[in-house]
Structure 1
Amino acid sequence: MQPSISVITLAVDDLAKAVAFYQEGLGLPTKGIVGNAERDTQVAFFKLNNNLKLALWPRQSLQRQTGCSVTGHGVLLSHNVATRADVELILNTVSAAGGVINKPAHEQPWGCFGGYFTDPEGYTWEVTFNPKTVG
């Protein structure tokens, strides 16, 4: 069996606000919020690449569904882009949509150009351009 990740699920405190951020701030396609809040099945899915999906699920619902404590933000998600200009564009867009820029775009010590932001729920993202992967 070939291991793969098909869904990355993030627990959020405000589902509508989180959906708006990912849809408007990052331009991720979604059908919006689906499921039933009373049955703890309310969730939003976003299509990523290679059949990978990002799911946003209300924290309390996810805790009840899984029986696990869902606290903290120990996740760094990386978004690789095609150009240096794309790094700047995305950081500006997410900032305007409510994200917090933790570290602006800069030359990174490993030869990439990137920056870091935190979304409104506190998850940390890296936006990076790697010149070695161009062409």
Structure 2
Amino acid sequence: MDQRISFVTLAVRDLAVTRRFYVDGLGWDAAVDEVGEVIMIQVGEHLVLSLWSEDHFEAEIGAISRGTGVPPLTLAHNVASKEGVDRVLETARTIGADPVVEAVEREWGGYTGYFADPDGFRWEIAYNPGEIGRLVLP
């Protein structure tokens, strides 16, 4: 098996709200947009973010574990500067992301903050001055 990820799939409660957030709010282009079922957005050269309505997700995968708290994963979007982090967090705030956690200097040398999409999935917006940070920038 090749060492790569092709799709990241998130089950979402309300696909219309999710579309307004990602497509209308963040300005991302949908490669696939099946109303009521799924939105697929190419987020890398060989990587797709699949936003799948919960009922369609459960029909194929099985029951979703539900509870309180933050989903136990983060999605990260790295940028080339601290100012870039602040700009993305401001955009998230403008389109209604809640919460938006202000960026801070991290002990490992980076600068990161977070926002939540309409389903509570946390996006880390990061400036990572190290080699691994440069690896993921276009």
Structure 1: any 5+ residue segments left out of the alignment? none
Aligned counterparts of 1:3 and 1:100: Cα–Cα separation in 2: 34
Q: 1:124 to 1:49 in 2, by over 3 A?
A: same
| Native 8 Å contact 2:31 2:42 kept in 1 | no
Residue in 1 aligned with 2:56? Answer: 61
Structure 2 Cα separation of the partners of residues 120 and 74 of structure 1: 16
Distance apart, 1:28 and its partner CA: 2.2
Q: Report how many aligned residue pairs link the two structures.
A: 130
TM-score when scaled to structure 2? 0.83
Quote the Cα distance in structure 2 between the aligned partners of 1:130 and 1:61: 36
Map of 1:5 onto structure 2: 5
The answer as to 2:73 corresponding to 1:78 is no
Distance 1:27 1:75 in 2: 23
Using the alignment, how far apart are the partners of 1:106 and 1:126 within structure 2?
A: 12
Q: Which moved more, 1:99-108 or 1:84-93?
A: 99-108
Query: Is residue 94 from structure 1 mapped to residue 92 from structure 2 by the alignment?
Result: yes
TM-score, normalised by the number of residues in structure 1:
0.85
* 1:120 aligned residue (97, 118, 121): 118
Instruction: Encode CA deviations 1:17-36: one digit per residue, 9 max, x unaligned.
Output: 1112112333322146216x
- Deviation for aligned residue 1:2: 1.3
Gaps (5+ residues) in structure 2? Answer: none
Q: Is the 8 A contact 1:63 1:69 kept in 2?
A: yes
Identity %: 35
Question: How far has the Cα of 1:14 moved from its partner?
Answer: 0.7
Counterpart amino acid of residue 92 in structure 2: V
Q: Is the 8 A contact 2:12 2:51 kept in 1?
A: yes
CA distance in 2, matches of 1:26, 1:70: 28
- Structure 1: which amino acid aligns with 2:41? F
Alpha-carbon RMSD across the aligned residues, in angstroms, is 2.1
